[in-house]
Structure 1
Amino acid sequence: MAVAGTVEGRRDTWRVAMVIPLRGPAGLFGPSCEAIAELAAHELNAEGGVLGREVKLEIVDGGARPGVVAARLHELIETGRVDAVSGWHISSVRNALAPVISDRVPYAYTSLYEGGERRPGIFCCGETPRLQIAPGLAWLRDNLGARSWFIVGDDYVWPRESGAAVRTFARELGLRIAGEAYVELGGDVADLVEKADISGCDGVLMLLVGQDAVEFNRQFARRGLHERMLRFSPLMEENMLLASGLTATTNLFVAAAYFRSLVNADAMDLLNRYVSLHGPDAPALNNAAESCYEGLHTLAALARRAGTTSVPDLNAAIDGFAYHGPRGTIEFHGQQAAQHVHLAVADGYDFTVITRL
């Protein structure tokens, strides 16, 4: 059986498995993830690739069951068909992939997540609750008087562990958690809306993925709750706004490291390059998709720093590693990226950025 990186004729290419959701609740922003990954590969190849090797992408459906995704990655790595892994996918998939990848190829995990990943060879590019949710709650308390929160989420590791972190933040910030409720991925969110309605809270913290958040927004608005409660989410993007509908996103606040509507040179330049490559009808650029761009550039810049793509050398080079991109300057502390996070409010089918947290 061939080992990754030793297949004859592959020395001039560097193949990255992009694990992105093509089905399930998060499938609605899968096309955006794929399109922005194509832009990143195009740009890297225009600059000479990764250490002289042409970047090629292998799209893997991260919306399948975690065990299915892990089996596919095992096959690709075992047969030497991929040299690295990246992409936006939920933490359950990351936890299934970690033992399969296990120091064999580098892995840039791009999604926001619950934090705490320390397994070697996994470089986490996304936001964590301490830097994303906690300052958002503080701003909403100070500026809008939101002190009582009800937590709703999908029932897997990111929402559950983030909910536990929020209980700690609440004690630190003098907030009250009125309750919390979870539903299986792709499940019926009606019970979540009902419980939030009767909780007497000022706001609802949404830890829901993709289409589940869309359905929650719709049912929330049908009850008229959007007129008397805030919603705050660390995972809400432009495709989800569009699917929710114009009237369903009133008083919806979002914290993220990137928004398409950011008015700065780095973000605007990325949007221009994206539209130039894919045309004006390209899938909506958004924070989940943009993370895939960050993942590929993280791997490339880290390889340049280490002078190699071997996992032990990348592990040795990661702490203190920094680069500049659409999110501004990203610096790694250990395996975790530190980055600026912004708070925005939904405005029709786009976001108005309010402040940097």
Structure 2
Amino acid sequence: MGVVIPLRGSAGIFGPSCEAVTETALARINAEGGLLGRRVRPVVIDGGRPASEVAADVGALVGAGRIHAVTGWHISRVRQHLVPVVGGHVPYVYTSLYEGGESATGVFCSGETPPDQVAPAMRWMRDEQGARDLFVVGDDYVWPRSTARSCRGYAHDLGMRVVGEAFVELGTEDFDGVLERVRASGADTVLMLLVGQDAVAFNRAFAEADLQSRVRRLTPLMEENMLLGSGADSTEDLFVAAAYFRSLPTESALELSGAYAAMHGPEAPPLNNMAESCYEGLMALEALVRRAGTARPERLSRVADSVGYDGPRGPMRLRSGHIHQRVYMARADGLGFEILARL
């Protein structure tokens, strides 16, 4: 199993948790007989490198028959490079939230997409927090850019306004200029589309600029490692929309938390949304392979619309290569999240 997860760069903060939860998932799968009568072994590939390098390595592993499926959390730029070298050869379950639109044969997306995550979150912020004027701050690649375009349409439909946008290179640490633009725009809410360490740096700068007492933040990408890095004093009025939080009380979520703690102990990397997405990706692949009786991508695509399972996020159902799932709104509360509503 090729597991593409970031071990460096802005998203490297997620790597240890993703790797640890993958071990937990595969231990369960192997205890239940593996897949197609074979034990499953992870081959971890660093998805934090340039996308072309990641794709070259994965393509070589697929071509040599050393990996028989690909999954993992990584940014959309990496996914766009992987699909041409993987699609149609081995199944690929992409686990990250993303901008939507992927339709290649044998490629399945188990993460949240803007219509099911960002659009209802904006509506909730309008209705429950009085948000009206949004300023978008994102990293400069396909997911934030495409999501921002969608948000302009959502804002129009909701009677809201996008009053400004700023996109920064991955790895940005200096947000002074962006924050001046936020202040000058008169926005009451910042929509953050920043990855990992970039969001940590932004949260710290946001608090230091004394903006958090007057401007809310909404993001679809925030987890416990990022809260810890930001510090509790930098996350006032920070709202997060996601399909999984560690505090989610579903039966499967509690089972995962117990299995994760039993395997990795109290010093384990925090179990979080990005890591749990890797667990969901493996559950989705397991369900697909068991339903089809094969790992052939074209056969998996044919049976996909009849596949569903109960995961830590709740009932999951595949439709047109994407998993439809519940999404929740939460507020940062110290180093954790208080779930406020199901969207």
Q: Is the pair's TM-score, using the shorter chain for normalization, greater than 0.5?
A: yes
Amino acid in the other structure paired with 2:232: L
Does the 8 Å contact 1:125/1:294 carry over to 2? Answer: yes
Amino acid in the other structure paired with 2:31: A
**Over residues 219-273 of structure 1, what are the superposed CA-to-partner deviations in whole Å (9 max), with x where a residue is unaligned?**
0000111111110000000000000011000000000000001123222221111
Does the 8 Å contact 2:197/2:226 carry over to 1? Answer: yes
**Over residues 126-152 of structure 1, what are the superposed CA-to-partner deviations in whole Å (9 max), with x where a residue is unaligned?**
000000001111111001100110000
Task: Give yes or no for the alignment of 1:238 onto 2:224.
Answer: yes
**Over residues 316-351 of structure 1, what are the superposed CA-to-partner deviations in whole Å (9 max), with x where a residue is unaligned?**
111242111101111111101100000000000000
Task: Give yes or no for the alignment of 1:190 onto 2:165.
Answer: no
Task: Tell me, in whole angstroms, the C-alpha distance in 2 between the residues paired with 1:191 and 1:82.
Answer: 45
Q: Determine the structure 2 residue equivalent to 1:168.
A: 153
Task: Give yes or no for the alignment of 1:300 onto 2:286.
Answer: yes
Q: Determine the structure 2 residue equivalent to 1:80.
A: 65
1:72-151 matches, within 5 Å, as 72-151=57-136
Amino acid in the other structure paired with 1:251: D
Does the 8 Å contact 1:190/1:216 carry over to 2? Answer: no
Task: Tell me, in whole angstroms, the C-alpha distance in 2 between the residues paired with 1:190 and 1:47.
Answer: 52
Q: Determine the structure 2 residue equivalent to 1:336.
A: 322
1:150-165 matches, within 5 Å, as 150-165=135-150
Cα displacement (A) at 1:288: 0.6
Does the 8 Å contact 1:246/1:348 carry over to 2? Answer: yes
SS of residue in 2 equivalent to 1:49: coil
Task: Tell me, in whole angstroms, the C-alpha distance in 1 between the residues paired with 2:221 and 2:87.
Answer: 28
Cα displacement (A) at 1:195: 1.4
Q: Determine the structure 2 residue equivalent to 1:13.
A: none
Does the 8 Å contact 2:30/2:39 carry over to 1? Answer: yes
**Over residues 281-312 of structure 1, what are the superposed CA-to-partner deviations in whole Å (9 max), with x where a residue is unaligned?**
10000001100001111111100101111111
The match for 2:262 among 261, 276, 279 is 276
Q: Determine the structure 2 residue equivalent to 1:7.
A: none
The match for 2:4 among 19, 33, 49 is 19
Does the 8 Å contact 1:320/1:334 carry over to 2? Answer: no
What is the TM-score when the length of structure 1 is the normalising length? 0.95
1:30-49 matches, within 5 Å, as 30-49=15-34
Gapped regions of structure 2 (runs ≥ 5): none
**Over residues 12-42 of structure 1, what are the superposed CA-to-partner deviations in whole Å (9 max), with x where a residue is unaligned?**
xxxx100000000010111000000000000
**Over residues 91-128 of structure 1, what are the superposed CA-to-partner deviations in whole Å (9 max), with x where a residue is unaligned?**
00000001111200000000000001111111000000
Q: Determine the structure 2 residue equivalent to 1:204.
A: 190
Cα displacement (A) at 1:191: 2.4
**Over residues 146-170 of structure 1, what are the superposed CA-to-partner deviations in whole Å (9 max), with x where a residue is unaligned?**
0110000000000000000000100
Amino acid in the other structure paired with 1:119: A
Task: Tell me, in whole angstroms, the C-alpha distance in 1 between the residues paired with 2:250 and 2:63.
Answer: 43
Q: Determine the structure 2 residue equivalent to 1:70.
A: 55
SS of residue in 2 equivalent to 1:242: helix
Amino acid in the other structure paired with 1:164: R
SS of residue in 2 equivalent to 1:116: coil
Q: Determine the structure 2 residue equivalent to 1:289.
A: 275
Task: Tell me, in whole angstroms, the C-alpha distance in 1 between the residues paired with 2:178 and 2:73.
Answer: 26
**Over residues 192-225 of structure 1, what are the superposed CA-to-partner deviations in whole Å (9 max), with x where a residue is unaligned?**
2221121101100000000000000000000111
Task: Tell me, in whole angstroms, the C-alpha distance in 2 between the residues paired with 1:37 and 1:303.
Answer: 18
Amino acid in the other structure paired with 1:242: L
Cα displacement (A) at 1:90: 0.2
Task: Tell me, in whole angstroms, the C-alpha distance in 1 between the residues paired with 2:224 and 2:165.
Answer: 26
Task: Tell me, in whole angstroms, the C-alpha distance in 2 between the residues paired with 1:300 and 1:226.
Answer: 43
The match for 2:253 among 267, 272, 275 is 267
Task: Tell me, in whole angstroms, the C-alpha distance in 1 between the residues paired with 2:116 and 2:251.
Answer: 23
The match for 1:227 among 213, 217, 238 is 213
Cα displacement (A) at 1:88: 0.1
Structure 1 vs Structure 2 CA RMSD: 0.8
Task: Tell me, in whole angstroms, the C-alpha distance in 2 between the residues paired with 1:354 and 1:80.
Answer: 46
Q: Identity percentage over the alignment?
A: 55
Does the 8 Å contact 2:313/2:326 carry over to 1? Answer: yes
